[in-house]
């Protein structure tokens, strides 16, 4: 009986770890997001290598319910399509929380 209970606990732990891992890889979807735009005012230098690279962007986020807000974030980006100062990207964010923005579409 004890062996069966331990087996159930280990199986439940494994399932919980798999669920948490998959959730972390995809990110949590934003419930009822607001749509806005991010005007890029700063971007880290483009690396020599192509493929997925880290980029840090700074910009002004505007949208419904949000005054122009300065935001920044480090993102994984395709080196072949590096963002530039002056670009405007569509974003979503939770209502009233522009610091939790996400880019809409491929990045």
Rounded Cα distance between 37 and 59, Å, is 10
CA nearest 56: which of 67, 48, 47?
47
Rounded Cα distance between 21 and 56, Å, is 25
Rounded Cα distance between 107 and 75, Å, is 9
pTM value > 0.75: no
- The whole-number pLDDT of residue 31 equals 67
Domain definitions of the chain by residue range: 1-30, 34-103
Kindly give the confidence (pLDDT) of every residue in the chain, 107 residues in length, as a single tens digit, with 9 standing for 90 and above. Answer: 888 888 888 888 888 877 776 665 555 666 678 899 999 999 999 888 888 999 999 999 999 888 899 999 999 998 888 999 999 999 999 888 888 898 887 54
């Amino acid at each position: 009986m004890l062996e069966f209970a331990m087996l159930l606990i280990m199986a439940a732990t494994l399932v919980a770890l798999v669920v948490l891992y998959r959730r972390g890889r995809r990110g949590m979807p934003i419930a009822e997001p607001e749509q806005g735009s991010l005007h890029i005012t700063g971007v880290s230098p483009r690396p020599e290598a192509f493929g997925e690279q880290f980029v840090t962007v700074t910009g002004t986020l505007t949208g419904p319910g949000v005054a122009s807000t300065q935001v920044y974030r480090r993102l994984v980006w395709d080196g072949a399509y590096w963002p530039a100062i002056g670009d405007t990207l569509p974003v979503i964010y939770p209502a009233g929380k522009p610091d939790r923005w996400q880019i809409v579409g491929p990045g």
